[in-house]
Amino acid sequence: MRLLIVGSLQGQIGTATKIAMDRGAKVTHANDIEQAMASLRSGVGADLVFCDVGYDIGTLVRQLAAERICTPVVACGIGTDARRAVDAIRAGAKEYLPLPADAEMIAAILAAVADDTHQLIHEDEAMTAVLALADQVAGSEASILITGESGTGKEVMARYIHRKSLRAEKPFISVNCAAIPENLLESELFGHEKGAFTGAVARRIGKFEEANGGTLLLDEISEMDARLQAKLLRAIQEREIDRVGGTKPVKVDIRIIATSNRDLNEAVKHGTFREDLLYRLNVVNLRLPALRERPKDILALARHFAHKYAEANGVPFRPIASTTERLLIGHPWRGNVRELENTMHRSVLLAQGNEISPEAIRLPDGSAVGSPSNMPAPVSMAVQAANAIATRGLVGRTVADVERDLILDTLDHCLGNRTHAANILGISIRTLRNKLREYSSSGLAIPQHGEARMAG
């Protein structure tokens, strides 16, 4: 945990710093907002900012957002001044910390940011085998590719490997390649010089330099643009990077861990991922089994989340009933650990009596897990015959043609809404946009948002 304290905290900085350091935080200090921004741009990095409420919290929050520095801000002020606290929250602060500093309050805030989702909870033999391999390679310098379905805990595994590595005392920096627009990802990774593009108001150190000496996690790397893949490959090979707008390379010493929920070998075959980059990243592959493949972990995680959310919501802890345990094990958990966590959080709030009964296990739409409406319907003979006819109609057509018609028909059904279409198709929004650009350049009409495609 890296904590940046801005200002004197009205004379309480020494106490607050000591409490934070006693809780395992690495603390740096800036005299004002300008110095704080300079520190963050320089690559010092912070997971959390404590800012004296005497400064303009709104200005700090806006500057962080403008420069895409995703660090939460906690406003700190003397006493429980309700008006100042409300103003700080409205300005964008995540929390208000009354001073003098209280050890338990600071510990709670640090824990909320660190979050125990980084704990690796497991009991199943399938997961034990993966962890044994992770332990074996953690101390090496090899690049590691972690694969598995969404929600299986790939980032948690990456953090586990970092903690077991020789770089454990150095930074662990994570970048979600799918969440950052492709035109901004290059700057996010490699940094930029002042004036390199509109909005580049100062030099900004990228994630490669911020992770120097430590570990860089490239989350969902399959979503990275092909042009940027070439620059990434060079950075890994040469151990140096070029800032956007820079004139000379910068040496870096990092270990790369990458994750993907897609088959990168298939992506290589389709030309969307570089084969040479895959070889560089996939020195060791750790495949995380889906939750349905490790049933013992379902119960271990469910109990963990039941404790966690009872405490978080201030409600009595209720054990999970045996009938509920059987229900949890039988559910497919297509969203894996993430889906299970949300379900258990909901069950803690809905449970009545002395146990978490099956009635408290609800899906997001309110329906019960395992109810007939959530079970696959039997396929009638008529439907099977219709499916066979439809399949025969595809014979003689290329996969590319079928894919194109499926994408355009789905987009047409969604009235041009790219996000909805991508969700239905099970592909990323970036992949969908790339396909649509390809179709548009070949002269096909692409429906815009709110309109349907004209039949041709």
User: Do 175 and 38 share a structural domain?
Assistant: no
Count of structural domains within the chain = 4
Domain boundary among 316, 342, 374: 374
User: Do 155 and 98 share a structural domain?
Assistant: no
The reply to whether 190 falls in a domain is yes
Q: For residue 236, which of 210, 260, 262, 258 has the smallest C-alpha distance?
A: 258
pLDDT at residue 116 in the model: 46
Whichever domain contains 422, its CATH number is: 1.10.10.60
User: Do 345 and 281 share a structural domain?
Assistant: no
Q: For residue 376, which of 331, 337, 315 has the smallest C-alpha distance?
A: 331
Answer for the pair 309, 346: CB distance below 8 angstroms, yes or no: no
CB burial readout 208-246, b (16+ within 10 A) else e: bbbbbebbbbbbbbbbbbeeebebbbebbeeeebbbbee
Q: How far apart are CA 73 and CA 46, in angstroms?
A: 10
Q: For residue 360, which of 310, 314, 311, 312 has the smallest C-alpha distance?
A: 310
pLDDT at residue 138 in the model: 95
User: Do 335 and 323 share a structural domain?
Assistant: yes
Whichever domain contains 230, its CATH number is: 3.40.50.300
User: Do 178 and 156 share a structural domain?
Assistant: yes
User: Do 369 and 301 share a structural domain?
Assistant: yes
Whichever domain contains 29, its CATH number is: 3.40.50.2300
Q: How far apart are CA 187 and CA 169, in angstroms?
A: 26
Q: What is the DSSP string of 324-337?
A: HHHHHHHS--TTHH
Cis peptide before 100 (omega within 30 of 0): yes
pLDDT at residue 385 in the model: 55
User: Do 320 and 227 share a structural domain?
Assistant: no
User: Do 282 and 137 share a structural domain?
Assistant: yes
User: Do 254 and 137 share a structural domain?
Assistant: yes
The reply to whether 451 falls in a domain is no
Whichever domain contains 319, its CATH number is: 1.10.8.60
User: Do 400 and 364 share a structural domain?
Assistant: no
pLDDT at residue 446 in the model: 84
Question: What is the tally of helices (H) and strands (E) in the chain?
Answer: 19, 12
Q: How far apart are CA 50 and CA 19, in angstroms?
A: 13
The reply to whether 248 falls in a domain is yes
Domain boundary among 56, 89, 115: 115
The reply to whether 454 falls in a domain is no
The reply to whether 120 falls in a domain is no
- What are the average pLDDT values for consecutive 10-residue runs of the chain, which has 456 residues? 88 87 87 91 85 91 83 85 83 88 82 62 91 94 95 93 92 88 86 84 89 94 90 93 90 96 91 94 95 93 92 90 94 92 93 94 80 52 54 69 85 76 77 85 76 49
The boundaries of the domain holding residue 103 are: 2-115
Q: How far apart are CA 74 and CA 71, in angstroms?
A: 10
The reply to whether 202 falls in a domain is yes
Q: How far apart are CA 373 and CA 388, in angstroms?
A: 25
The reply to whether 122 falls in a domain is no
User: Do 297 and 261 share a structural domain?
Assistant: no
User: Do 90 and 73 share a structural domain?
Assistant: yes
Domain boundary among 287, 317, 342: 287
The reply to whether 447 falls in a domain is no
